[in-house]
Every structure is written in C-alpha cells, then in structure tokens.
A and B are shown apart, each in its own frame.
Chain A
Amino acid sequence: MVDLWQFIVSNQAEILDQTIEHIGLTFVSLLIAMAIGVPLGLLATRFEKVSGPVLGAVGVIQTIPSIALLGFMLPLLGIGALPAIVALFLYALLPIVRNTYSGINEVETSVTESARGMGMTGGQILRKVELPLATPVIFAGIRTATVINVGVATLCALIGAGGLGEFIFRGIALNNSIMILAGALPAALLALGFDFVLGLLERNVSKFLKPLSYGLAVVLVFVSLYSVSTVFSQDQFRIGVPPEFLERADGYKGFTQQYDLDMPVVEMNASLMYQALDNKRVDVTVGYSTDGRIEAFDLKVLKDDKNYFPPYECAPIVREDFAENYPDVIAAINKLAGKISTQQMTQLNSAVDHKGQEERAVAKEYLQELDFRTEINRQGDPDILIGGKLQTEQFILAHMYRVLIENYTSLDVGLRPGLAGTQIVFNALTNDEIQLYPEYTGTGLHVLLDPLEQVTDSLGNDRDAVYNYVFEQSLQQFNIRWLQPLGFENTYALIMRREQAEQLGIETISDLADYLSKDETQNTP
C-alpha cells in the first residue's frame, strides 16, 4: 500500500497524463458511438427489416476479442489514437444501439398509437413520447458502454494510443504489481466515477442537471480533442518504445542520458513497432537486431557507437537441479551451441515474419540442414515445458529444443512460448513451471541481476566477461545455470526507415542525436 502510494506520488505527472489520455479515448469514442448508435437504434425501430442485420452486426463486433479487434485495425489504420478510437467506438456501439432499439420498442404500442391518433407527427411522437420514455434504457446503454470503454481503453496502450494501459503493460512485462496497480486503480476509479456521474445525470436528466450535462459534454469534448491532438500530432520526430524498455536498467533512461537524446515517446507493443515505423507513425523504434522485419520493411539499424548496450548473447537457461537430474537433456540442448549465427537467426526470423512460414517448420528444416535427427514427434503428456518471450526467435528456438530433446532423449516436451516479459518467464523458470528458456546475457545482467554501475562499466562490451559474470552470479543468486551460447546476439537496436536514415545521413545513434539537437535549435527562434 505504502509502496503503491509512493509510486503514484512520484509518477503523478505521468499518471495524470495517462488519465487524461484515457478519458480522451473513452469519451471521443463514446460520443461518436452515441452520435451514430442512437440514430442507428432508431433506424432499426423504424425499419424492422434492417433491425436484424444492424443488431446482428453490432453484436458480432462485440464478440471479437478486444486484442483481435485492435489487431484488425492495424493494417487499416496503423497505430495510435485513431485505430484505438475506432475500436472503442465499435465496442460502445452494441449497448447503445441495442438499448436504443429496445428502449423505443418497449414503449407500449397503446401509448404511441394514442399519440398518433391525437395527431402528433412522427417527429413529435419521437421527441415528446418515445425518446423521453426510452431515456432510462438508452442511458443504461450509454453507462454500460462507458464502463466497457474505460476497460478496453487500457488495451489501447498496446497500439501506441497511450492511456492508463501503459503502466499496466509495463507492470506486466516487469512483473511489477505496484506498477500494474498504478494503472489499474485509476482505470477502475474512472469506470466507477463515470458510472456514478452518468447515473446521477440519468436520474436528473430532465431537471436541473440538463444544462450541467451539456456543460460537462462540452468540457469532455475539449479534453478529448486536446488529448487526441497531442497523440495525433505528427510534426515531431518520435520514438516507439516497448513497455519493458522504458523501465529496464539498460533501457530508455540511461540510453537518453548517454546519447543526450530527447524526443517524444510513443509506448507500444514490441511486435507492432516495426509496422508503426513502416507506416510512419514513428520515426525511430527500439527493436531487436535479429528481427526478421528489419529486412522485410527495409529498415536500418543505427550503430551503437557509444557502446551503450551490453552484449546480448543468447543462451538457454535452466535450474541447477534440473541440469543435475537430466544430463541427457542438457546434452541434447547443447548440440545447438554455437550453431546459429546472428545472420542465420535473422534469416530464420524473416522466414516466419516476412515469408509467413510456420515457426515449427522453420525450426525443423534448420535442424535437418545441420543433420540432426528430427523424425520423432511425441504427442504425450509433456515431461518438460519450454518457455519463451514474445519475440519470433523465441518461438523458433523453443521448437528446435523440442525436436532435439524428443529425438535425443525419451522425454516428451511441451511449449509455453510467448510470455509477456522477462520477469514473467524468469519467475516461471525459478518456480519450476517451465524448465528451460532462451535468455540473453545483457538482459540477465541488467534485468535479472542489476548490479552496481561500476560492475557493468567494468564489464563493458566484452561478451565473454558478461557471460562469465552472468553465469556465476545467476548460479549463486538464483541457482540458475546458463548453458552454452547459441552463437548469435540479439541486441536492442535503434531502428529507422532506411530511406529516411539515408536521406538525413544518419548512420549511428550519435548522428541521430546530432540531427535532433540541430533540428531543435532550428525550430526555436
């Protein structure tokens, strides 16, 4: 509790920003949904023939999982506030359309018939009879939509739209529950608060609160427009950053200090960044040097000329007791040691990310090229579970290890790749929930061990020194054994569109920093 309070106090500016973004996303989408949903619901009551398709369509949209809907939005609208607002709008549509429809339909026919019989026009019946009587039901729909939207809007952080989801996803990636709470708590309070305010409005909508509600709506529109415009503004050079990188010791803070960089940050899901870069939503991203999409999207990796990033050699890690009990598994795993170069790994990633091949087939094919046995494929209950993070290569490696272990031992292997964050995978390993996963030495150094600055400085950029340090310390501190490295490195890397980089003559990160500082002095008179 105290920790949470301290975290909130020390990050209040950011939380406030995120809350405003969150309100903006929620209400812009909600206002659009109201502006379209209520007339759509009315239309459905007027033309019974369209009511089925309309209600069906908005119902189907609601059944699409929110992550999937955001995924659908990407190729169409890219990343940022726009696809987020569209997705939220679509989610808000169902409760509003359906409640408008049923609210109007629930008005007794005797009432509308007598209204017609007395000589009210269609518009008068709607304004004086149907809408006033349906208002509680329509309002209930709007309340439902608001609460849904506050919740779903947290997911919009995944596509760089900001909001309170940023803390939640950063917290998930780092397994930091205080950070998760710092995002989740304000979101929950927002949902409750809006529900309460709307409930108050609903009860008094016809009375004194009417002008107040208009005022509130106007204020919300301004807040929304303001926050959206800040997310939308395109004129600045922007950097897309995955949540974990923002908080890591070898991450954004130290990096910007080292290079004296300052540019607006768009936080987004690691797997979306390349696309965002390609769509020019951002101009620089922090990605992984072996990622297949670098080749696919014709991107350029900037040289880390000040050697900020430590080496990130990839090596499988296991618990020490597991290594002692299963020497044959260790032997099977080690068959792959030194067998994958950085270039080869990039090609394998590209085969999956760019050419659309299955990770499993890519893994098997590569092992066949190396003349390993690959024919055995067991389907039984797994004896060993292999974990992994979100990057493509982690999936491919997991499949490779599975084939090796199943072909060179008598054990069955199950896979649990795609875990969202270093801390989560590592905790799973130490808790014996998974038995093996590929980790990177630099990550081991900075995220898992996090030693004093003198230590990291003394290790510098020396691959072997880092490996040895991580090997010894992991064994001591966590009882975790690093096996032999696979041969490739997957470092954090600053990536730009090749075209833009060449146009601006940027080769290294220092070039970028120079360009940005020049740009800044040009812009300030």
Chain B
Amino acid sequence: MIQFQSVTKIFEDGTTAVDDLSFQIREGETFGLIGTSGCGKTTTLKMINRLVEPTSGTIQINGSESTSQDPEKLRRQIGYVIQDVGLFPHYSVQQNIATVPKLLYWDERRIASRSEELLQMVGLDPETYSERKPQSLSGGQQQRVGLARALAADPPIILMDEPFGALDPITKRQIRMEVSSLFKQINKTIVLVTHDVFEAFELCDRLCLLDDGKMQQIGTSQELLFEPANNFVDSFFASNRFQLELLSVTLSDILEQKNGEGELYWSPPLKEEQEDDEVKPTQTLYHILEEMEQRPQENLAIIHRVEKQVINSLGFSDLLDRFQQYKRKRKRREQDG
C-alpha cells in the first residue's frame, strides 16, 4: 500500500508540479496516473522511489515513511520502467536483468536462473537473447528486457513511466496485451503513468486524473466516465467518450446475470465443444465488438451452465442495445443517489 498525504512538490524554479496530493494505492492493484503533459504525473511517480523528493507532505509505503530509509535501499525494492527503457548499452541482456540482484548480492546461480525465468516470462528466448547487447534488439524487445529488469528482484511495487510511449502502434498493442495478462499473473502493486487514456483504461484497475498538479478524481474507469467529479474530468474524456465507454464496460456489466448461471460462447461454434470459443465475462465490450466484426456469422450465445441449453443469443445490435440500457440505468442510479 502506498499512501500519499498532502504531498506538494515545488521545483527550484518556483513551479508547483504537485499540489497537496492525498490518495492511496492499494496493494496488488494496477493504478494509473493520467492527465495532460505537465500535469505532474511523472513527478508524482518519481516521488514514490524518491527520484524526486517532496517539498512537503509524506509518502508511506507499506506503513513506513519513504524517507525513513536510504533512497538506494528503497529503490532496490521498487521496480522502475521508463519510456526510453535506459538499458545499459555496455551490458548484455542478461547483465542488464541482473543489475538489481547484483546490487542485492544474490549468488550467481540464482541470478542466472532468475534472468532465464524472466526472459521467458516476457516472451524472449533466453538462449537467443541472453548474451545479446541492447542495441541489437528492436524497440519492443528492449522494452521487454526493461520490464524483466524491473521485475528481477521480485519487488512488490513496480513503477512504470510511459513504458510503451516510444513503441510503434502495432508493437505497442501487442506488448500491452501481453503485459496486461502478465500483470494479472504476478500480483504486484503497479503504478503506471501514461498520457494514453486507452492504455490506462485497458491496464488499470483504478485511475487518478491530475491537472496542474491537483487531483481531479480518483476511481475506476467507469466512475470517471459516468460519475465525473467536475467539468474538467467530463471534458477530459469528451473527445473519445464512446470508445472509452466501450472499453470500460464489460460483458458482465451489461448482461446482469443472476447467479452467473450462463456461460458465454461464440455461436455457432466452429467445432463442437471448442474451448477457444468460450468468452470471458470480464471482456470489455470494445474487444467483443471488435471480434464480432471479424466473425460476422456468429452471435454471442449464453448457455446454461448445467442444462447446456441456449438461454439467449446476442448479435452486434443486441449488445449495443444492452449497453445503452446499462448507461441509462447508471445515470438513473447516479441521479437517485
């Protein structure tokens, strides 16, 4: 758990980068810091590992104040990934990954097996890549190594500053998907800074929107979209609202099944009982609609878990209808509340 308490940062030139910030990042969640450039999100992130020291206020990490320990010791327990990756050009991939374990005096064998494990985790073949130098890798591969390096000493917290900002759209999308599933596996507290709201919506459990160093709203993507705290929050998402709404709403939101008695399948299935055709209810509407575009002949079937009979079959327009209903319901709830 990371706790910000009235944190303010005023730089030497007099600019206030972060203004009286208080919030909590829960253990194990992926937390996004978003906002326009210059809003103070990177400064906020860097105050967690003390690359920037707050002017006033305190930051607690797992109950102890961050300033109570040596900044170097603190940083070795916090993974750090940045946009330009910053791999050491004179080190091999393996040596790069071994950086923090070496600082922590791990023994050689443990370091070797850990870096092999990590390379596999980020989708790089250890045999091919271990001894390569960073400049021989593509941008996407470098960022994978950067991620592996941040994870090397198994830190409970990982800070990521625009980690995919320098990648081309295709690589970015692919890595984002992989990272998204990786995040779910590793169960770490992740703080992600990004100016890309789609990225934030896809990866983060909760978001904090900053403007001019001040917190505007903190909450889930749906809370930010459907219950904006002020005009700034509302207008911040205005230009991409529809897409973002589709990204934030999941199948389980719009289907509102009782007891979860139905399972979701593409219908008709290409083959009988094909596992691939099962659809997870946590999928966002955006991804389902996108996939449906590629499967024009298929509907989304809700099949009774026990009785194995089709309860309902939904097409593209049915899903959009349900989405509109869900939005209306939320609005009503908001007005009532």
Asked whether A119 and B74 contact (CB < 8 A) given A110-B84, A124-B103, the answer is yes
Nearest opposing residue in chain B for A111, CB measure: B86
Asked whether A117 is an interface residue with its Cβ less than 8 Å from the other chain, the reply is yes
The interface bits of chain A over 112-135 (1 if a CB of B lies within 8 angstroms of the residue's CB, else 0) are 111111111100100011001100
Contacts of B333 in A (CB 8 A): none
Does A371 count as interface, using CB distance less than 8 angstroms? Answer: no
A120, B85: Cβ atoms under 8 Å? no
- Out of B72, B82, B83, B89, name the residue touching A120 (CB < 8 Å): B72
List residues 67-92 of chain B with CB under 8 A from any CB of chain A. Answer: 71-77, 80, 82-90
User: By the criterion CB–CB under 8 Å, are A115 and B86 in contact?
Assistant: yes
List, sorted by A's number, 7 A–B pairs whose CB atoms are closer than 8 Å. A108-B86, A110-B84, A114-B80, A120-B72, A120-B99, A128-B88, A132-B90
* Pick from A113, A119, A124: contact of B86, CB under 8 Å: A113
Report B-chain residues with C-beta under 8 Å of the C-beta of A112: 86
Query: Which residue from B73, B80, B88 sits with its C-beta under 8 Å from A117?
Result: B80
B86 cross-chain contacts in A, Cβ below 8 A: 108, 110-115, 117
Report chain B residues within 8 Å CB of A118: 75-76, 80, 99-100, 103, 149-150
Contact status of A110 and B85, CB under 8 A, knowing A116-B51, A117-B80: yes
B49 to chain A, nearest CB (A): 6
The CA-CA distance from A56 to B75 in the complex, in Å, is 38
Closest A residue, CB atoms, query B76: A119
> Using Cβ atoms and an 8 Å threshold, which residues of chain A touch B73?
119
What chain B residues lie within 8 Å of A132 (beta carbons)?
90
Given contacts A110-B82, A121-B72, contact A115 B103 (CB under 8 A): no
Main secondary structure of the interface of A (DSSP, over half): helix
- Tell me the chain A residues, 199-216 only, with Cβ under 8 Å from chain B: none
Contact A117 B89 (CB under 8 A): no
Please, how many angstroms separate the alpha-carbon atoms of A201 and B75 in the complex? Answer: 36
Chain A residues in 8 Å Cβ range of B99 = 115, 118, 120
Cβ A115 vs Cβ B88 within 8 A: yes
Given contacts A129-B88, A133-B90, contact A117 B82 (CB under 8 A): yes
Interface string of B98-119 (1 = CB under 8 A from A): 0110010000000000000000
Question: Chain A residues in contact with chain B, CB under 8 A?
Answer: 108, 110-121, 124, 128-129, 132-133
Taking CB atoms and an 8 Å cut-off, the chain B residues in 32-74 that contact chain A are 49, 51, 71-74
CB distance from A377 to the nearest CB of B (A): 63
Residues of chain B at the chain A interface (Cβ within 8 Å) = 49, 51, 71-77, 80, 82-90, 99-100, 103, 146, 149-150, 159
Q: Residue among A108, A116, A119 with the most chain B CB within 10 A? A: A119
Is B88 within 8 A of A111, CB to CB? Answer: yes
Q: Which 8 A-B pairs have the closest CB atoms?
A: A114-B86, A110-B84, A119-B75, A117-B80, A119-B76, A110-B86, A119-B72, A111-B86
- CB of B85 within 8 A of CB of A114, answer yes
Q: Could you tell me the distance in whole angstroms from the C-beta of B221 to the nearest C-beta in chain A? A: 28
Inside 8 A of B76's CB, which chain A residues have their CB? 118-119
- Complex Cα distance, B74 from A108, in Å, reads 24
Chain A neighbourhood of B71, CB < 8 A: 119
Which residue, of A110, A116, A118, has the highest number of chain B Cβ atoms within 10 A? A118
* B89, A111: Cβ atoms closer than 8 Å: yes
Instruction: Specify which chain B residues have a CB less than 8 angstroms from the CB of A108 in the assembled complex.
Output: 84, 86
Alpha-carbon separation in the docked complex, A329 to B80 (Å): 89
Given contacts A113-B86, A115-B99, A124-B103, 5 further A-B contacts (CB under 8 A): A110-B85, A114-B86, A116-B51, A117-B86, A118-B99
Q: Please state if B103 and A113 are interface contacts (CB–CB under 8 Å).
A: no
Say whether B82 contacts A114, CB under 8 Å. yes
| Cα separation A121 to B74 with both chains bound (whole Å) | 12
In the assembled complex, the CB of B257 is this many whole angstroms from the nearest CB of chain A, namely 45
Question: How long is the Cα–Cα vector from A133 to B133 in the complex, in angstroms?
Answer: 14
Taken together as a complex, chains A and B put the C-alpha atoms of A112 and B88 apart, in Å, by 9
**Complex alpha-carbon distance, A347 and B246, angstroms:** 105
Across the interface, do A119 and B103 meet the contact criterion of CB distance under 8 Å?
yes
Rounded to whole Å, the gap between the CB of B115 and the closest CB of chain A is 14
Query: Are A117 and B90 touching (Cβ within 8 A)?
Result: no
| Chain B nearest CB, measured from A490 CB (Å) | 67
Q: Which residues of A contact B159 (CB under 8 A)?
A: 117
Inter-chain contacts of A117 with B (CB < 8 A): 49, 51, 75, 80, 82, 86, 159
Residues on B with beta carbons closer than 8 Å to the beta carbon of A121: 72
Q: Name B75's closest neighbour in chain A (CB-CB).
A: A119
Give Cα A124–Cα B82 distance, bound, in whole angstroms: 20
Point out which of B71, B84, B100 has the most chain A C-beta atoms below 10 A from its C-beta.
B84
Instruction: Tell whether A111 pairs with B72 under 8 Å between CB atoms, given A118-B99, A118-B100, A118-B149.
Output: no
Assess the B51–A111 pair: CB atoms within 8 A: no
Considering the complex, give the chain A residue whose CB is closest to the CB of B74: A119
Q: Which of B71, B73, B89, B146 is most buried by chain A, counting CB atoms within 10 A of its CB?
A: B89
CA distance A114 to B51 in the complex (A): 10
| Cβ-defined contact, B88 with A119, below 8 A | no
Chain B residues near A128 (CB-CB < 8 A): 88
Q: Give the distance in Å from the alpha carbon of A124 to the alpha carbon of B73 in the complex.
A: 13
Closest B residue to A135 by beta carbon equals B90
**What A residues does B82 contact at CB under 8 A?**
110, 113-114, 117
- Report Cα–Cα, A112/B86, bound state, in Å: 7
Expressed in whole angstroms, the Cα–Cα distance for A118 and B153 within the complex equals 10
Name which residue of chain B comes closest to A124, CB basis. B103
The CA-CA distance from A79 to B99 in the complex, in Å, is 53
User: How far, in Å, is A432 (CB) from chain B's closest CB?
Assistant: 65
- Residues of A contacting B74 in the complex (Cβ-Cβ under 8 angstroms): 119
* Interface contact A119-B89, CB-CB below 8 Å: no
Q: B146's closest neighbor in chain A, by CB?
A: A114
Chain B residue at minimal CB-CB distance from A133: B90
Q: Please report the C-alpha to C-alpha distance between residue A58 and residue B150 in the assembled complex, in whole angstroms.
A: 42
* Bound Cα distance from A117 to B160, whole angstroms: 11
Residue of B nearest to A132 (CB): B90
How many angstroms between the C-alpha atoms of A115 and B88 in the bound complex? 8
CB-CB nearest in chain B for A128: B88
Which residues of chain A are near B80, meaning CB under 8 Å? 114, 117-118
